[in-house]
Structure 1
Amino acid sequence: MKRSTLLIVGLVAVLLIAAVVFLFSGRQRAEGGAPSKEAAAQPRPALTVTVARPESTELTVTLAANGNVAAWQEASIGSESNGLRLAEVRVNVGDVVKKGQVLATFSAETVQADVAQARASLAEARATAADAAANAARARTLQQTGALSQQQINQYQTAEQTAKARVQAAEAVLAAQQVRGRNTQVLAPDDGIISSRTATVGSVVGAGTELFRLIRQGRLEWRAEVTSAELGRVAVGTPAMVTSASGAQVKGRVRSIAPTVDPQTRAALVYVDLPALQQNTAIKAGMFARGEFQLGRTAALTVPQAAVVPRDGFNYLLLLQPDSRVAQLKVETGRRVGDRLEITSQLPEDARIVVQGAGFLNDGDLVRVVEPPIASSASSASSASPASSASAGPARAAAAEPSVK
C-alpha cells in the first residue's frame, strides 16, 4: 500500500509540472514571444538599396567633329643659284630655327671668280668713260673756234654717253654677281621648325630646287569637318578641345571658317588654332583627331550614372514609392559629366531614385533603404564609366532576376 501511494503521488506531481509548463508557454506565445500568422504573412524586402534625388546643374553644350591636324603655313625653302655645289647643311628635321638663320651653304669659288671678273669689267668701263668724257669736254671748248666740225663734236659726245652706259651695265653685272654670292647661303625666311629636308651635301642643284620645308612659327591647326546643318552653331573665337589618337587633349580656338561647303560631303572646314608645336608634343601635323566645340552652358537635370539601368535597348530609372516599393520609369539620357548623367525626360518633382542596387530590381519590388557609405560611394563614383555601366547593366539585371523572384 505504501508503494502504490508513492507512485500515485509522483504521477500527480509530474502532471502538475507539465500543466504549469504548458500554461507558461501559451502565455508567451499570446504576448508575442513567437511570430504570429499576420507577421509571417508580411513580404520581405528584396534588396537593401540607397536612394538619391535628381540635381539641377549647368552642363557644357558641345558639338563633336573630326578632322586632320596640319601646319598653319609651310614655307618651301629652295636654291636661288643655279649649278652650285652644296657644301654644308647646318639643320635637320625637327630643328627650331630663327628668321635669317643660315640653313645651308653652297661652294662660293665660282661665284667669287665671277664677282672679280665683274669688278674688273666695271673698272675698265669707268676708265673708258673717263677718257670719253675728257674728249667730249675738249670738243665742246673748241666748238666756238671752228677747229672741229659739228659732226666730230657730236661723235665725241656720243662716245661719252656710250661709255657712261657701259659703266652702268658693268655695275649691274657686278650687283648681280654679288647677289649670287649672297645666295650661296640658304637663309630661313621666318621663325619655325624644319619639317622636311632634301638637301644633301655634295649635290649640284638647279635654281628653284626645294631643299627644306619649314612650319612657320611652329603653329598647327585642326581642320575640323562640320556638316552644313551644324555650321551655323560655330563662330570665330569658339573654344574647342581636340583629342588625338593617343588620348592627349589640347585646347584651341576657331580662327576662321571656310566660305564654301564641299558639294560631295556637304561639310565645311573649320580652322582651329592649336598651341605652338614646341610646347605641344602630343599633337603632330598629319594626325587625325576628334574634338568638341564648346558652344556654351545650359541648365540640366542629372542623376548618378549608377541609377540608370539599360534594359532591352532603353534606359530606366527605379523610383522609390511611399510604400517602399520601386516603380520602373523609362527615360531619355543626354550629356554626361563625370559620374552623373543628364535626364532629358520629365521626372516627378519629389522623385527619389534608387542608386545602389538599381540594376538588380524589377518593377514593384519591395526594398529597404539605407544611407550610402561615404567612402564606398566616392570610390564607386570614381571608378564608374559609361561604357562599363552600360554593358554591365543588362547582364547584372538578367543575372539577378531569378534571385529577386
Structure 2
Amino acid sequence: MSIGTPRPLPVGGTVRRLAGELWSAVFAADEYAATETVLAALDSGVDPETVLLDVIAPVQGRVGEEWAANRLSVAQEHAATAINERAVAALARHPAARTVPTRGRITVACVDGEWHALPARLLAEVLTLRGWHVDHLGAQVPAPHLIAHLHRTDSDAVALSSSIATRLPAAHAAITACQAVGVPVLVGGAAFGSDGRYAFLLDADAWAPDARSAADRLALGPLPRPRPDHQQLDDLPHLVDQEYTLVTRNSTSLVRTVFAALEDAFPALRTYSEPQRERTAEDLAHIVEFLATALYLGDEDLFAGFLTWTAGILTARGVPAHSLTPALSLLTRELKDFPRAVRVLEHGAAALVPSLGPDTPAPVPADLSTAESPS
C-alpha cells in the first residue's frame, strides 16, 4: 500500500463493534483493555487511520457527551481522555503505523491556553501516516514559542487546533504571527465554528472541519503563502470601541463586583462553603470571558450559544437554568456604558428564555458548584 492511500474501510459493523469495545474499556477505566482493542484491530488488518478517526475519535466525542449529560464526572472524563491518548500512543508504535516521510513538514499545535490536545494529536498521527514529517507541539503553545519553532524549522504550514471559543483571540494572535513569518495556517476544532466562520473572520489560510478533511486539504497541494498585506490584529473594525480591551483588562474586578452584588441581593450566598464560593466566582469568570470573546469577534450569537449550552449542563445536574439570570442582570448594570456589551448580554438573556419554562420562579442564584467543568 502506498503512503497516503488508505486501505478500504472495513464494513460499518466492524467499526461499530470496535468503537463499542473501546467505549466499554474507556468507561471502565481499563487502559489495558483499551490498548488491546486498538492493537487487535491493527493486527487484524484494520487501517490505522480508520482506528484513529472512526473508532478512537467517536469514542472521545462520546466521552464529552456523557460528561455533558452528567453521566461522567470530571475525574472520569479526564481518565477516559488519558486512556484514549494512551491508545493513540500504542497505535503509533504498532508496525502497521510505521511510515517514512515522503512529503513536506507540518507543525501541529494547540492554541495558547487550549488544553484539549487529543484532536491535534489525532491530526498529527494521521498526517504522519500519510507521509508528512510532523512536529507535534502539544497543548497550549504560546505564540512566541510557536514562532521560535518555525524559525528553527522549515515547516510548509501550521495546523492550529482549538476547542474552546474563548481561545480565539489567542488563535488570532498565533495566526497573524505565523503569517508574518511567511508560514500559512490551517485551523480546525470546535472553537472555529461548525462552518468555520471564525476561521474566515480571523483570516486563517484554510479551515477543515475534522482531521481527515485537514489531511485531505494538505494532500491537495501547498497552502498559499500569506499575502504581504495579511490581516493584522487591529483589522476587526468593531474593536475600535475598546470594549473588548476594557472588559478583559477589568475582568477580575468585574467578577468581584458582581459577586458582591449577588451576596447583597441574595444573602443565602453568604452561607456557601469556601469551595462553593470559589466555584461560583469561577462560573462568573467564565461568563465574563465568553462575553469578552463575543466582543472580540463581534458575534452576539457566540455568547448566546454559550449560555444555552451552560443552561443544559446545569439542568442535567439539577441546577435550575434561571440561576444564570441574576448574574446577567448585574453584569448589564455594571456595563451600562458599554453598548455592545449590553447588546450581547441582552441577546444572551433572551436566548435563555426557552430554557427557563413558563412558570419560572424569581431568579435565585443556585449553588453552581455542582456544574463541574471538564477543562
**As a proportion of its length, which structure holds more strand?**
1
More helix by share: 2
Larger RCO, structure (CA 8 Å, separation 6 or more): 1
